[in-house]
Amino acid sequence: MNLDTDPSLVALRHRLHAAPELSGAEAGTARLLREMLQATDPDQIIEGLGGHGLALVYDSDMSGPGVMFRAELDALPIAERGHVPHASTLPGIAHLCGHDGHMAILAGLARHLGRDRPARGRVILLFQPAEETGAGARAVLADPRFDSLRPDWAFALHNMPGLGLGQIAVAAGPASCASVGLHLRWQGREAHASSPETGLSPAHAVASLMAALAPFSTPGPVTDGFRLATLCHLSMGARAFGIAPASAEAMVTLRAISDAGLERFERDIATLAEHQAGALALQISRHDHFNASINDPHASRIVARAADALGLVKGCFALPMRASEDFGAFSAVTRTALFFIGAGEGHPALHDPEYDFPDALIAPAQALFTRILSEVMAH
């Protein structure tokens, strides 16, 4: 198989990189992909799936499995600091996670399917919205039109800095952690700083919660029982020396290896916060909830066989990764495999302001998706 990079796919990736759109606002990105990929003559195009999602279906009209491949549409609310010619043209928004590259890979697969339909079954290419917030996959699943697409298999990749360029990492079981963001708000009553006892300060409740979270603030091995709590924001009271505070807020991200483990962790933290609040009013809201991605053993073996057939090197990468991936929501409804392809050992990290997707990954990743499809259809 030819693994030379297609210049037109590189050009597409650069065009997407220069015009990023945030989660839930990916209309222009979806429209561009639809306009470009309509020429591949898909048998069905579904727009606005779960928001701005786009699904292309290539059907053989013969009995066989349904196989879905997914890429993400959205960018991040981070200012790019790299100096590439195709840098973001929108201040404070950039593709710093590689979703532009993932879309280019899936576009390459669409072109392949336009030339060579599957011999049996059908292939669904899903350009998913709102991955970065954890809302997109569940929104796609909740869209009634997805019922007609529901696949027997689903595959997705993510580039991974720190893993050797083009190396592959895949394994059965957990591939990425479950996570949720908790926004806690305490409300009491101000007082003069010389007479704090006449007010109702949240200081003790906040300090007690921070102390309780401390044992979970340093990452340990991602094994059964893994818990990680990351304090992302904390504020309390007015910026003044004469006022004892009345209000405080904290934003904490919780992670666990499984959905059930995260549910228990979240319940423990909420119960603790409520107990420590005492007479304070406490509000807790949930945000950015991600399911754990669980790789089906058979789907993982298919990815491994496809990589071996292409001569791609297996890299050393500890699974599951601590970060979350919205692909996990699909694990509950079909056999899934999320795997990783190396972006290079010295490459800037995901979400780093200087990150840029390596164009050299487009060809081998597209070839791997194509080989995965062949492996599925051969069984």
Taking only the tens place, the pLDDT of each residue in 59-73 is 999 999 999 999 999
Spatial distance between the Cα atoms of 240 and 244, rounded to a whole number of angstroms: 9
Last residue of a domain, one of 237, 267, 290: 290
Last residue of a domain, one of 290, 323, 349: 290
- What sign does the dihedral 289-97-66-48 (CA atoms) show? positive
- Please give the average per-residue pLDDT across 303-328, as a whole number: 96
**pLDDT(2) > 50:** no
In a domain? residue 95: yes
Last residue of a domain, one of 258, 290, 322: 290
Spatial distance between the Cα atoms of 68 and 348, rounded to a whole number of angstroms: 30
What number of other Cβ atoms are within 10 A of residue 62's Cβ? 11
Which range marks the domain in which residue 318 is found? 7-175+292-377
- Please give the average per-residue pLDDT across 109-117, as a whole number: 97
Query: Max alpha carbon distance in the chain (Å)?
Result: 80
* Residue 301 neighbours by CB under 8 Å, 6+ apart: 172
In a domain? residue 233: yes
Strand 178-187 with 281-290, pairing: antiparallel
Same structural domain for residues 284 and 336? no
Same structural domain for residues 128 and 71? yes
End-to-end CA distance of the chain: 21
Spatial distance between the Cα atoms of 351 and 154, rounded to a whole number of angstroms: 25
Beta partners for residue 286, in sequence order: 182
Same structural domain for residues 83 and 115? yes
Same structural domain for residues 269 and 339? no
The SS3 assignment for 118 reads coil
Domain CATH for 26: 3.40.630.10
What does the pLDDT look like over 211-259, one tens digit per residue? Answer: 999 999 999 899 999 999 999 999 999 999 999 999 999 999 999 999 9
In the chain, the number of structural domains is: 2
Question: pLDDT tier at 4 (50, 70, 90 boundaries)?
Answer: confident
Strand 247-256 with 227-236, pairing: antiparallel
Domain CATH for 237: 3.30.70.360
* Residue 117 neighbours by CB under 8 Å, 6+ apart: 58, 59, 60
What does the pLDDT look like over 135-183, one tens digit per residue? Answer: 999 999 999 999 999 999 999 999 999 999 999 999 999 999 999 999 9
**Structure tokens given for 44:** 């069905």
**Structure tokens given for 213:** 């979270």
Same structural domain for residues 89 and 230? no
**pLDDT(1) > 60:** no
Beta strands in 26-65 (DSSP E): 44-49, 53-59
